Structure 1
Amino acid sequence: MVNKYSDIQNTKANIDVANDWRTMKFSHPERTIRLGTSFSGIGAIEQSFCRLGLNCQIKFAGDIDANCKEAYFANYPITEDRWHTDVHDFDAKKYKGEIDLFVGGAPCQAFSLRGKHGGFEDTRGTLFREFARIVKECQPKVFIFENVKGMLSHDKGRTWQVIKNTFEEYCGYDVYFQVLNGKDYGIPQSRERLYCIGFREETDFKYPAPIALKKSVYDFLQKSFDPKYLLKQKGVNFITRSVNHQKSYTQVNGDIMLCQKRNQQFNWHGDFVFHPKLKSDTLTPEQDEHLYRVADYEENYYIMHRPELYALKSLTKNEACMEKMSLSDIDVNYGRFRKFTPRECLRMMGFDDSFKIVVSDTETYKQAGNSIIVDVLMAILKKMDITKYGVMS
């Protein structure tokens, strides 16, 4: 196949700025997309189809993480015979000709280019090899391969060259790739990821153009939450350290979320909320282990950003309720800090509240941090008009 886009240093050249993907209509909304996924996680592409209101039939899915399987089975129609746990044991040949779209974000370990063939044989021992093998075996009409931005520059670009050559020469696909950021597609999170798309037939494709961000983190927060998410002394000490703020390890009351990571919330990394104390709140730090005096910490950047949006109107043993208040009602010298709830982390990945949380907080944080942003996938599906690759039910 002819490489339609080879300049990895200037990926923005392949974005369609002339057409607004949001106004595009699906050509065949009545069709069903036969979907296959590996490294499925909690089903970001499946959630994309749900939110777009498109018909989707899950032919196969799989993930080695048992908690991901539990979450996936609770949210999507699938049976045991269509699920694979270890991708190395999965034989996709029986699905040849039955997959319209194959999606996955295989963790890509660095691999050696000792042979310097620049193709499939150089990927031995990596999970990427399994992803490419599945593409080769089931031959989907389209595949989407998502990964970290750093893949493009790893080993001075040689790693990506091997991956691209594998998709083009070994798998036989027309390949496009682009770095897209979640904050450019409706989600206030700075999350840059590589989206590589392969078409079985030669295609003239351009990626969806960025749109203006109209929502902030505040719009995704729960108005009520369990007080167990409020931080105690050790956590507050960590997230308010100026060095952590300067290195973007932590952020408090930000408009745009830092990139979610699988370990951030239970390891005091990432985004946090500062709730200023209401003047009507008679508690003192001596009476409430979650209440702190701002002047006792290295920086007070967290109280400078629209604190009235984050005020706790009420706080009981079982529930805390957040509401926008007047600045005249707030004492910004005191307040409480909390981490994001699992639901908020899922919202910030594009999962609406219909998504059932069936595993522990720790596992849900991991799952959200490992996922693909649903809204970016929705933009891609609209731009390629995924329905033209579907079949009649």
Structure 2
Amino acid sequence: MSQSYYMENVNRINAEKVKSNSKKYNVVSLFSGCGGMDLGFNGGFTFLGKKYDKNPFNIIFANDIFKQAADMYEDNFGLPVERRDIKELDINKNFPNKPVDVVLGGFPCQSFSYAGKRKGLSDLRGQLYLQMIRVIDHYKPKMFVAENVDGIRNSLKDKDGQNVDTSALDTILKDFYKHGYNVQYHVLLAADYGVPQMRRRVIIMGVRKDLGNINDEYYPLQTYDADGTKTGRKWLTAKDAIDDLWDKVNKTAIPNQTSRDISKAKFYPGKKMQGNNRIAADKPGPTIRAEHHGNIEAHYRTTLPDRNDMRGWRRLSVRECARIQSFPDTYNFTASASSAYKAIGNAVPPVLGWNIARSIYYTLSQLESKKNESDDISS
């Protein structure tokens, strides 16, 4: 792959040490879901006793066609969500007439996911990144951030459904590059940033070519590792995240921890199937997937002495899934359990989003300092 739009060794910044000022950057959010990435960009929340400060970003537009996710977004953010298919939106009429600094977009991942049919770019959902490019072409933001599953790196079907040697990710990076942005990607593991989950996501970052190159872009520095030898902080485990909720079903003011928020799907002894197992207590949780719906995994605790007796198992609650995804307890999933499970599984972990947001802010600050120095020299 050409070094003009890809770099293996990326710049890193410790997001927790980045200080923000009063300047606000306008953000357009596409494929927003229930707002995991957007919550990270807003900041100003607490997760497992750790405070994540406000970030200098102002989200002025959000879009998603999943009605229940849009409802939850509006209930928690107070920002109206444009609910029509992004392909049907008129760029001049349906989007804000304001300057935009950053465009966010977790374009649909089902066609690239290992859990799906792997249709890649031949699936129309796999081509929705082109709608993100359409919005970027209109606003010409300073930067954009796109997110997708790790499987996009080896999805090898082109738009005609033919097997090819070029991955979907390569094609997408080239298209962003052609539209005026120096781009790169990196795979981030959520557990490395204080999320109690083994979730890997490809994060694509682009900076407008007239402002800088990929050497000017910063990704968040890893701040947690498996045993703490590298960073001084161990990965958070499922037990760290949810142990206090086990005996609080219907007994807490924390939302989404009632009997109505727990799937009643049966377990099947001796069968290997989705969700027919318990998570481990002493490790980060598994990836919470939108496809789980009712077949979410079981809690590591049981109500019977025989831990293998499935009659003592219960599935993870909506709140427990939200904790594993790093949503603060103040976020209320105002929907049925089925819709909430799906929205949580589709989301970017807010704590990961917060780390990304801080690195984007730092990158923007560095770009502006560089421009000011250049202006001083030329004046």
Call closer, same or farther: CA 1:23–1:271 in 2, change over 3 Å. farther
Give the C-alpha shift of residue 295 in structure 1. 6.1
Residue 182 of structure 1: aligned partner: 190
1:1-393 alignment, distance < 5 Å: 3-4=3-4, 6=6, 11=8, 13-14=9-10, 16=12, 19-26=13-20, 29-48=21-40, 49-51=42-44, 52-79=53-80, 83-93=82-92, 95=96, 98-107=99-108, 109=111, 110-111=120-121, 126-155=127-156, 156-169=165-178, 171-200=179-208, 201-203=211-213, 204-212=216-224, 213-221=234-242, 222-223=244-245, 224-226=248-250, 228=259, 235-238=266-269, 241=270, 243=272, 250-254=277-281, 255-264=283-292, 266-267=294-295, 269-276=296-303, 291=304, 293-294=306-307, 336-385=312-361, 388=365
Call closer, same or farther: CA 1:194–1:162 in 2, change over 3 Å. same
Separation in structure 1 between the aligned mates of residue 298 and residue 101 of structure 2, nearest angstrom: 37
Give the C-alpha shift of residue 92 in structure 1. 3.1
Aligned to 2:186, the other structure's residue is in SS state: strand
Call closer, same or farther: CA 1:248–1:76 in 2, change over 3 Å. closer
Aligned to 2:171, the other structure's residue is in SS state: helix
Call closer, same or farther: CA 1:190–1:15 in 2, change over 3 Å. farther
Separation in structure 2 between the aligned mates of residue 46 and residue 125 of structure 1, nearest angstrom: 22
Aligned to 1:354, the other structure's residue is in SS state: coil
Give the C-alpha shift of residue 72 in structure 1. 1.0
**Which structure shows the higher strand fraction?**
1
Give the C-alpha shift of residue 96 in structure 1. 6.7
Separation in structure 2 between the aligned mates of residue 5 and residue 292 of structure 1, nearest angstrom: 56
Give 2:353's aligned amino acid.
L
- Of residues 125-134 and 93-102 in structure 1, the stretch that sits farther from structure 2 once superposed is 93-102
Separation in structure 1 between the aligned mates of residue 26 and residue 262 of structure 2, nearest angstrom: 43
- Give the alignment's TM-score, normalised by structure 2: 0.73
Residue 230 of structure 2: aligned partner: none
Residue 116 of structure 2: aligned partner: none
Call closer, same or farther: CA 1:85–1:53 in 2, change over 3 Å. same
* CA RMSD of superposed structures (Å): 3.1
CA contact 1:84–1:90 (8 Å) conserved in 2: no
Residue 283 of structure 1: aligned partner: none
Call closer, same or farther: CA 1:374–1:157 in 2, change over 3 Å. farther
Aligned to 1:379, the other structure's residue is in SS state: helix
Give the C-alpha shift of residue 5 in structure 1. 5.1
Call closer, same or farther: CA 1:103–1:296 in 2, change over 3 Å. closer
Give the C-alpha shift of residue 161 in structure 1. 2.0
Aligned to 1:40, the other structure's residue is in SS state: coil
Deviations 1:9-62 (A, max 9, x none): xx5x3253xx53322322xx2122211111110112321113331344332111
Aligned length: 312
Residue 253 of structure 2: aligned partner: none
Separation in structure 2 between the aligned mates of residue 230 and residue 57 of structure 1, nearest angstrom: 34
Deviations 1:298-324 (A, max 9, x none): xxxxxxxxxxxxxxxxxxxxxxxxxxx
Give 1:273's aligned amino acid.
Y
Aligned to 2:121, the other structure's residue is in SS state: coil
Separation in structure 2 between the aligned mates of residue 352 and residue 6 of structure 1, nearest angstrom: 34
Residue 376 of structure 2: aligned partner: none
Call closer, same or farther: CA 1:350–1:252 in 2, change over 3 Å. closer
> Bigger radius of gyration, 1 or 2?
1
Is there any run of 5+ residues in structure 1 with no aligned partner, and where? Answer: 114-122, 277-290, 298-334
Separation in structure 1 between the aligned mates of residue 262 and residue 205 of structure 2, nearest angstrom: 42
Give the C-alpha shift of residue 346 in structure 1. 1.6
CA contact 2:196–2:326 (8 Å) conserved in 1: no
CA contact 1:248–1:258 (8 Å) conserved in 2: no
Separation in structure 2 between the aligned mates of residue 25 and residue 55 of structure 1, nearest angstrom: 10
Separation in structure 1 between the aligned mates of residue 279 and residue 126 of structure 2, nearest angstrom: 41
Aligned to 1:225, the other structure's residue is in SS state: coil
Give the C-alpha shift of residue 385 in structure 1. 2.3
- Of residues 188-197 and 344-353 in structure 1, the stretch that sits farther from structure 2 once superposed is 344-353
Percent identity at matched positions?
22
CA contact 2:55–2:357 (8 Å) conserved in 1: no
